[in-house]
Chains A and B, each alone.
Chain A
Amino acid sequence: MSELSVNHLLGIKYLNKKDIQLIFKTADHFKEVINRPIKKVPSLRDITIANLFFENSTRTKLSFELAEKRLSADVINFSASQSSVKKGETLIDTVNNILSMKVDMVVMRHPNPGAGVFLSKYVDASIINAGDGAHEHPTQALLDSYSIRERLGDVNGKNVVIVGDILHSRVALSNIYALKLQGANVMVCGPKTLLPKYIKDLGVQVETNLRKALNWCDVANMLRVQNERMDISYFPSTREYTQQYGVNKALLNSLDKEITIMHPGPINRGVEITSDVADSDQAIILDQVQNGVAVRMAVIYLLASKIKH
C-alpha cells in the first residue's frame, strides 16, 4: 500500500513523483465525493485541524476549511490580525498554545519564507504550508497540475509558461518544482525586473516576449502582479505592463493553436488578462478552484492517515 514519503507538506521541493501521483489518484476519488448530493465523508472525525493565517487569504482559507469540513475534521481558525502575535508572542509559542488544545494538524500561511519548515522542527503536529512569503505554495501548484492533467490528460511533455511577477510569486516556484517533477517543459515570461536573476538554474526557459511564449506553450499560467509585495517600481506603469504582458482575446485568436489559460486568482481583470479571456472556454480558472478542494482533501487525508491513533 502506498503512502506519502513525508509527514508534512512544506513544499513541492520535498515531494517525489510518486507522492504527486498518489495525491492526484486520491483527489480523483474526492472529486467524485464532492459532486455527490451529500458531499461529506466521516474519515477525519477524530482529527482537529488549526488554520493559522498570519497573512490575508480568501480562497485558500475557504478552500482548506471546506476540504477539512468535508472530511469531517474539527476546524479552528486563527488570523494574525486578531491575535496575540500583535502582543509580541513568538510563532512557536502561538502554535504550541494552540496545539496544547489537542490539535493534530496545522495549516499555515505566513509572510516569512521557511516558516513552515521552521515550525515543523519544533512542534509535534503535521504541518501544511498554505503559502510562506515568496517561497512556496504547494497545494496551489498541486491543484494547478491536477487541472492541467484533467484538461490535457497528462502533465508529462506539456509546455507550460508562467507569465508575470515571477519574482514575488510562491505560486511560480511551487509550480516550477511540480511541473518539472512530472516531466513538463517550463518557461517563465515577464519583464526582466520581475524575473529572478538565477531562475534558469531551476531548469526553466526564460522569455521576455509574450507572443513567443504563448506560441510555444500548451498552457499559460497567468500570475497576478503583486503590488502589495513591491517595495520599488518594477515597471513604468500598469498600462505598459498590460500592453506587454496582458493576455486578451485578440492575442489568443492570432496564435496558430488553442492554448489553455490558468490563473491562481485573485484576477486583476484588464491587467494580466481581460474579462473575455477569463470567462472564455479556454480558461480553466474556476475548474482550478473546484479542484482545489479535492486536492486539499487528498493532501489532508493522506497526511492524517500517517498520524497514529
Chain B
Amino acid sequence: MSQKVLLNAKELNIILHRLACQLIENHNDFSNTVLIGLQPRGKYLANRLAEMLSIDYKIKDIKLGHLDITFYRDDFRRGEKILEANTTDIDFIVEDKNIVFIDDVLYTGRSIRAALTAIQSFGRPNEIELLTLIDRRFSRHLPIQPNYRGRQVDAINEEKVKVNWVENEGEDVVYLINN
C-alpha cells in the first residue's frame, strides 16, 4: 500500500475558506439555508465549514444538521459488509429551505442519491445543492455533480481518497491511497 498527499493542512485550509466564501456568495446571511453533513464522513467537513462561517465570517445562527443515509442505500444485502447506521440529527424544519449537502468525497454518486431520498422524509426543500471537498471525476454511476468542489482528482478505481481531520485523526490532510 502506498499513499501520497493530495492536500496538506495549509492547502486544505485555503480550500475551506474558498468554499465558505462561495457559500456566502450564494446564500448571503443563510437565513433560509441549512447545512446538512452526510454521515459518517461528511459530518467533519460540515462541522468545520459551519464553524468557519460563524467565527471567521460572522454569520449568525447557522443551521447545521447531520443526515444518515444507511436505510436508504441501494446496496442493502448486496455486499459482505453489514451496513451500520449512524445518528441523524436535524432539529429544524427543512420544508422550503435551501439545503446544502456536504460530503468529503464524491465518487459514484450513490450516497448522494440516497441522501436525496432520505431528506424527503423531513419535508420538501426549496432547493438542494451539493458541496464536496474531493470530486473524483469520471467515476460517477449516476448523473450527479457538485455545485461546490474543493479539488477535482482523477483517481483510478483501485485507489482510495481518505480525508483526515484534526478532530478525528489528529491531522488535517487528504491522502490518495493505492492498494
Q: Which residues of A contact B (CB under 8 A)?
A: 1-3, 26, 28-29, 32-33, 36-44, 46, 71, 301, 304-309
If over half of A's interface residues share one DSSP class (helix, strand or loop), that class is named, otherwise mixed; here it is: loop
Q: In whole Å, how far is A47's beta carbon from the nearest beta carbon of chain B? A: 8
Q: In whole Å, how far is A63's beta carbon from the nearest beta carbon of chain B? A: 19
Knowing A38-B120, A41-B71, A305-B82, the reply to whether A29 touches B87 (Cβ < 8 A) is yes
Knowing A309-B77, A309-B78, the reply to whether A26 touches B120 (Cβ < 8 A) is no
| Residues on A with beta carbons closer than 8 Å to the beta carbon of B87 | 28-29, 32
A212 to B83, CA, bound (A): 47
* A1 with B84: CB separation less than 8 A: yes
Q: In whole Å, how far is B171's beta carbon from the nearest beta carbon of chain A? A: 26
| Residues on A with beta carbons closer than 8 Å to the beta carbon of B81 | 1
| Residues on B with beta carbons closer than 8 Å to the beta carbon of A40 | 121
Q: Check B138 for interface membership: any CB of A closer than 8 A.
A: no
Q: 11 new A-B pairs (CB below 8 Å) besides A32-B87, A33-B88, A42-B117?
A: A1-B81, A2-B82, A2-B84, A3-B82, A29-B71, A36-B121, A36-B122, A37-B123, A41-B118, A301-B71, A306-B82
Q: Check B9 for interface membership: any CB of A closer than 8 A.
A: no
Q: Check B57 for interface membership: any CB of A closer than 8 A.
A: no
| Residues on A with beta carbons closer than 8 Å to the beta carbon of B70 | 29
A159 to B123, CA, bound (A): 43
A42 to B116, CA, bound (A): 13
A38 to B123, CA, bound (A): 8
* A29 with B122: CB separation less than 8 A: no
- Contact partner, A37, options B77, B84, B88, B122, Cβ 8 Å: B122
What are some 15 contacts across the A-B interface (CB < 8 A)? Answer: A1-B83, A1-B84, A2-B82, A3-B82, A29-B88, A33-B71, A37-B123, A39-B121, A42-B71, A42-B72, A42-B117, A43-B72, A304-B77, A305-B76, A309-B77
Q: Which residues of B contact A (CB under 8 A)?
A: 68, 70-73, 76-78, 81-88, 117-118, 120-123
| Residues on B with beta carbons closer than 8 Å to the beta carbon of A28 | 87
Which chain B residue has the least Cβ–Cβ distance from A4? B82
* B84 with A43: CB separation less than 8 A: no
- Contact partner, B82, options A1, A42, A46, A309, Cβ 8 Å: A1
A305 to B70, CA, bound (A): 12
| Residues on A with beta carbons closer than 8 Å to the beta carbon of B88 | 29, 32-33
Q: In whole Å, how far is A35's beta carbon from the nearest beta carbon of chain B? A: 10
A43 to B81, CA, bound (A): 15
* A29 with B68: CB separation less than 8 A: yes
| Residues on A with beta carbons closer than 8 Å to the beta carbon of B76 | 43-44, 304-305
* B77 with A305: CB separation less than 8 A: yes
A111 to B98, CA, bound (A): 55
A26 to B73, CA, bound (A): 16
A145 to B38, CA, bound (A): 31
A160 to B85, CA, bound (A): 31
Q: In whole Å, how far is A74's beta carbon from the nearest beta carbon of chain B? A: 15
A266 to B46, CA, bound (A): 47
| Residues on B with beta carbons closer than 8 Å to the beta carbon of A29 | 68, 70-71, 85-88
Which chain A residue has the least Cβ–Cβ distance from B76? A43
* A41 with B123: CB separation less than 8 A: no
* B77 with A307: CB separation less than 8 A: yes
Query: Counting chain A CB atoms within 10 Å of each CB, which of B82, B86, B120, B122 scores highest?
Result: B82
A254 to B166, CA, bound (A): 55
Q: In whole Å, how far is A139's beta carbon from the nearest beta carbon of chain B? A: 19
Q: In whole Å, how far is A4's beta carbon from the nearest beta carbon of chain B? A: 9
* B71 with A43: CB separation less than 8 A: yes
A233 to B5, CA, bound (A): 79
| Residues on B with beta carbons closer than 8 Å to the beta carbon of A39 | 121
| Residues on B with beta carbons closer than 8 Å to the beta carbon of A307 | 77
| Residues on B with beta carbons closer than 8 Å to the beta carbon of A308 | 77
Q: In whole Å, how far is A49's beta carbon from the nearest beta carbon of chain B? A: 14
| Residues on A with beta carbons closer than 8 Å to the beta carbon of B82 | 1-3, 305-306
Q: In whole Å, how far is A18's beta carbon from the nearest beta carbon of chain B? A: 13
Knowing A2-B82, A36-B121, the reply to whether A41 touches B77 (Cβ < 8 A) is no
A301 to B117, CA, bound (A): 19
Which chain B residue has the least Cβ–Cβ distance from A298? B85
Q: In whole Å, how far is A253's beta carbon from the nearest beta carbon of chain B? A: 37
